[in-house]
Amino acid sequence: MQTTLEKEFSLVGTGLHTGRPVRLNAMPAPAGHGVVFVRSDITDRDNAIAARFDAVNDTQLCTRIANEAGVEVSTIEHLMAALAGCGVHNARIEVDGPEVPIMDGSSVRFVREILMAGVVGLEAPVPVLRVLQPVKVVDGLAEAELLPSDSFEIDFRIEFDDAAIGTQVHRLDMHNGSFARELSDCRTFCRQADVDYMRRIGLALGGNMENAVVVDGGDVLNPEGFRRADECVRHKMLDAMGDLALAGAPVLGRYRGIRAGHRMTNLLLRKLFATPGAFEFIEADKTLAARLPGVGVSISDLDVAV
């Protein structure tokens, strides 16, 4: 069955790029509603934006969606990953500003709030997007690909000159609480040179070492270091989880990313939906539903207390 939140929850935080305080209210929604963001601070025009790949209008350092009235919400990927990882198919997300709060730079606080609020079933079958044939996008050294699979898998490789990151590879089947256990606490990361550049162009105004891991060559500048030895590649997988959730339905397929980011994943979804015969929508029976993200997840799956 499709699901939604059992009850509403609220969070207050700071926008990573705007540096502005923002309040987020996540509320239950009916079957077929999907995930919809609503700008509660805008009342003079349509303020609702469906969280879909074709609503994405910017992927520079985050994922931003917009509606036809020009209303935007950015940095949605960590919340989208948490909703998908907890198996929430329908929700109304109200924010009183242009950006979802960054919290600690991971999805763990969102996951905790979702699981504390509860996830309930709705009287409607779950549509699943099944990948039928490989679809791939390439841009220089970056690649993103979707392949047929009997479950939802994420396979990622990153390569950085900074010795603190280097080359990292990880692969996960995303069923039975894998997202909560393995990815949700992994924070966004950047190089000190990137921080300097973003500040020069007016981004990352709310960024600090409480919501991002900063590296400089072989050094991790955060006093606590990494939460996991391969936290960086796991965060890239978290981002991919959130960006793939913009397909509008759980994905049955294997995502493979090499040096990929928000832009590549969005281009991949656009190519998938534009390729005849590359996918189909099916209704999940009990066997398939048991392999989808979020089934069986509990708050005990969280490894860290944040």
Q: For residue 281, what are its two tokens?
A: 């929508």
Q: Which residues have a Cβ under 8 Å from the Cβ of 46 and sit 6 or more positions away?
A: 67, 68, 69, 71
Q: How far is CA 9 from each of CA 23, 64, 114, 122, rounded to the nearest angstrom? A: 11, 22, 8, 19
Query: How many angstroms separate the CA atoms of 151 and 139, rounded?
Result: 27
Half-sphere exposure of residue 19: CA atoms within 13 angstroms, side-chain side: 9
Report how far apart, in Å, the C-alpha atoms of 269 and of each of 52, 72, 73, 235, 239 are.
10, 20, 19, 20, 14
Q: Which of 17, 170, 175, 262 is catalytic?
A: 262
Catalytic residue check, 262: yes
Residue partners of 235: CB distance under 8 A and separation at least 6? 106, 183, 186, 187, 188, 189
* Calpha distance 232→225 (Å, rounded): 12
Residues acting as catalytic residues:
262
